[in-house]
């Protein structure tokens, strides 16, 4: 019983989900080349999931994607979308029902943002009022004020904004399926991080079936519900969830591709809200009497105490030496160290660790949406998580092995 429960919990995606994109033996041989660019790619993507195709450059991942909306016509094999064979339908018609985002965005420079976002609805013959309403709705959705940006031209936007418009444009006619070819590849790291997060939040809302191409394993681990690691000719080395990819890579190729630091990467998969924070850190109000603050610090096993402001937001870290200075007349709100490492519960453990390392006190303060203190993440908390995750997966794979044996026994 327990074993079955663990299995379904660890792999919920496969149960009950409907396949949305099915690629069957998809092959592309360009004229005059000995090897096929894509050789017999077979892959099923469930509805509402993001599947990432990741691999080194030249492995055929972009070609594979362009076979799906038939920008490149497959030599053989079949493409099924929502159970319907799309291999021989009108390609233009097919593409109007598949959202498409590319790295260079490909926004039409001579058209306004509104016209760009409304491209596919216009091709589908929607009336003007409906297109205008949809454009405004989408711009809102990607976090751009319609009144400000509607009439602008692509060259008047930053790279990040252009990519947002690219996503809005792909979503315009509400296609069930989206193809995204390195959509955040040409953007600076900070903006990329933000766009990735925004997109994941958006995906929570729209639940599209997405195939996402990238060469960046970290992006794949972050964005993917499932990841297909590709080797030459789009051969699938492993098709699995991010967790399984990190804990049990199928072979050396996959583990090489994931690279060193798989444990560190795993920190990207856990969020602060999912772990047990330390809540026993001593706290006191900035306006409290020094004696009371000292009592709180002495009562705990900690060497520093967190001062909170009137709204419960972290203000400063103080040690007993700082309190001594406060005794000599220094204002409590000015002694000690400012609190620099602060994260919200939806931050990943990697974010928390990053803050922690950069901070001056060796721990990260977790605050809620309004900035009020919730708890502390320190190195020990993170180490515990890494150990637990590793143990859990070892148990899971052991359980999987054991589960197969009795089944064999029954067959005999």
Partner 1 sequence: MTFTEYLTRNYDNLLELGLEHLNLVLISMGIALVVGLPLGIVAHRNKLLRNPILSTAGFFLTLPSLALFAIFIPVFGIGAPPAVAALSLYALLPIVSNTATGLASVSPAVVKASQGMGMTGYQRLLRVELPLAWPVILTGIRVSTQVVVGIAAIAALVGGPGLGTEIFRGLRSQGNASAPNLVYGGTLGVIVLALLLDAAFVLIRRLTISRGIR
Candidates 105-113, 228-236, 283-291, 338-346: pick the segment binding partner 1 (CB under 8 A). Answer: 105-113
Q: How many residues bind partner 1 (CB under 8 A)?
A: 28
Burial class (CB in 10 A: 0-12, 13-18, 19+), 330: middle
Beta bridge partners of 366: 343, 375
Residues 60-79 within binding reach of partner 1 (CB under 8 A): 69, 71
Q: Tell me the pairing of strands 314-319 and 304-308.
A: antiparallel
Candidates 112-120, 192-200, 218-226, 315-323: pick the segment binding partner 1 (CB under 8 A). Answer: 112-120
Residues 164-183 within binding reach of partner 1 (CB under 8 A): 169, 179
User: Six-digit token pair at 325?
Assistant: 């200075």
**Closer residue to partner 1 (CB): 135 or 365:** 135
Whole-angstrom Cα distance, residue 259 to residue 175?
A: 35
Whole-angstrom Cα distance, residue 230 to residue 64?
A: 10
Residue 104 interacts with partner 1 (CB under 8 A): yes or no: yes
Residue 262 interacts with partner 1 (CB under 8 A): yes or no: no
Residue 209, number of CB atoms within 10 A of its CB: 22
**Closer residue to partner 1 (CB): 123 or 288:** 123
Options 17, 24, 123, 337; binder of partner 1; rule CB under 8 A: 123
Candidates 47-55, 99-107, 190-198, 355-363: pick the segment binding partner 1 (CB under 8 A). Answer: 99-107
Residue 107 interacts with partner 1 (CB under 8 A): yes or no: yes
Residue 188 interacts with partner 1 (CB under 8 A): yes or no: no
**Closer residue to partner 1 (CB): 84 or 412:** 84
Residue 92 interacts with partner 1 (CB under 8 A): yes or no: yes
Residue 241 interacts with partner 1 (CB under 8 A): yes or no: no
Options 50, 51, 79, 96; binder of partner 1; rule CB under 8 A: 96
**Closer residue to partner 1 (CB): 35 or 104:** 104
Residue 111 interacts with partner 1 (CB under 8 A): yes or no: yes
Whole-angstrom Cα distance, residue 239 to residue 255?
A: 13
| DSSP code for 31 | T
Candidates 101-109, 252-260, 369-377, 393-401: pick the segment binding partner 1 (CB under 8 A). Answer: 101-109
Residues 6+ apart with CB under 8 A from 93: none
Smallest gap from Cβ 246 to partner 1, in A, equals 33
Q: In what order do the strands lie in the sheet with 38-46?
A: 38-46, 19-28, 76-81, 84-85
Runs of H (alpha helix) within 172-308: 189-206, 217-223, 242-247, 252-258, 262-266, 290-299
- Element housing 130 (H / E): helix 128-141
244: left (phi over 0), alpha (psi -120 to 50) or beta: alpha
Residue with structure tokens 């630091």? 261
Options 51, 63, 119, 209; binder of partner 1; rule CB under 8 A: 119
In the shown chain, the binding pattern of residues 138 to 167 toward partner 1, with x for contact by CB under 8 A and - for none, equals ---------------xxx------------
C-alpha dihedral, 287 to 291 to 295 to 296, nearest 10°: 10
Residue 298 interacts with partner 1 (CB under 8 A): yes or no: no
Whole-angstrom Cα distance, residue 220 to residue 225?
A: 9
Options 81, 100, 219, 364; binder of partner 1; rule CB under 8 A: 100
In the shown chain, the binding pattern of residues 339 to 368 toward partner 1, with x for contact by CB under 8 A and - for none, equals ------------------------------
Smallest gap from Cβ 91 to partner 1, in A, equals 8
Q: In what order do the strands lie in the sheet with 304-308?
A: 283-285, 304-308, 314-319, 337-338
Smallest gap from Cβ 86 to partner 1, in A, equals 13
Residues that bind partner 1 (CB under 8 A): 69, 71, 92-97, 100, 102-112, 119-120, 123, 153-155, 169, 179
């Amino acid at each position: 019983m327990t074993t079955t429960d663990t299995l379904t919990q660890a792999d919920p995606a496969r149960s009950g989900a409907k396949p949305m994109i099915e690629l069957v033996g998809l092959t592309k041989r360009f004229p005059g080349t000995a090897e096929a660019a894509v050789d017999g790619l077979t892959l099923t993507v469930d509805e509402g999931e993001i599947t990432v195709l990741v691999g080194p450059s030249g492995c055929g991942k972009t070609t594979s994607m362009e076979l799906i909306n038939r920008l490149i016509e497959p030599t053989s094999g079949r493409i099924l979308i929502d159970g319907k064979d799309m291999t021989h339908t009108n390609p233009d018609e097919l593409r109007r029902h598949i959202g498409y985002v590319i790295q260079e965005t490909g926004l039409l420079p001579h058209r306004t943002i509104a016209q760009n976002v409304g491209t596919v609805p216009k091709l589908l013959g929607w009336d003007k009022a409906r297109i205008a309403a949809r454009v405004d709705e989408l711009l809102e959705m990607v976090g751009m004020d319609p009144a400000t940006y509607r009439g602008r031209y692509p060259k008047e936007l930053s790279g990040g904004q252009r990519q947002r418009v690219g996503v809005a444009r792909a979503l315009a006619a509400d296609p069930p399926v989206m193809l995204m070819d390195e959509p955040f590849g040409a953007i600076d790291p900070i903006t990329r991080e933000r766009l990735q997060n925004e997109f994941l939040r958006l995906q929570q809302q729209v639940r599209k079936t997405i195939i996402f191409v990238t060469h960046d394993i970290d992006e794949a681990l972050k964005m993917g519900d499932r990841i297909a690691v590709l080797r030459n000719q789009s051969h699938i080395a492993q098709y699995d969830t991010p967790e399984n990819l990190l804990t049990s890579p199928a072979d050396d190729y996959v583990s090489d591709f994931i690279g060193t630091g798989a444990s560190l990467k795993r920190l990207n998969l856990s969020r602060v809200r999912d772990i047990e924070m330390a809540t026993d850190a001593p706290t006191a109000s900035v306006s409290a009497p020094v004696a009371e603050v000292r009592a709180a610090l002495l009562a705990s096993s900690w060497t520093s105490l967190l001062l909170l402001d009137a709204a419960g937001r972290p203000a400063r870290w103080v040690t007993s030496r700082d309190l001594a200075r406060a005794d000599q007349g220094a204002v409590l709100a000015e002694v000690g160290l400012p609190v620099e490492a602060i994260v919200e519960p939806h931050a990943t453990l990697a974010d928390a660790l990053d803050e922690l390392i950069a901070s001056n006190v060796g721990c990260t303060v977790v605050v809620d949406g309004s900035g009020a203190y919730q708890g502390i993440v320190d190195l020990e908390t993170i180490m515990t998580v890494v150990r637990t995750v590793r143990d859990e997966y070892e148990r899971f794979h052991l359980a999987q092995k054991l589960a197969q044996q009795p089944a064999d026994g029954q067959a005999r």
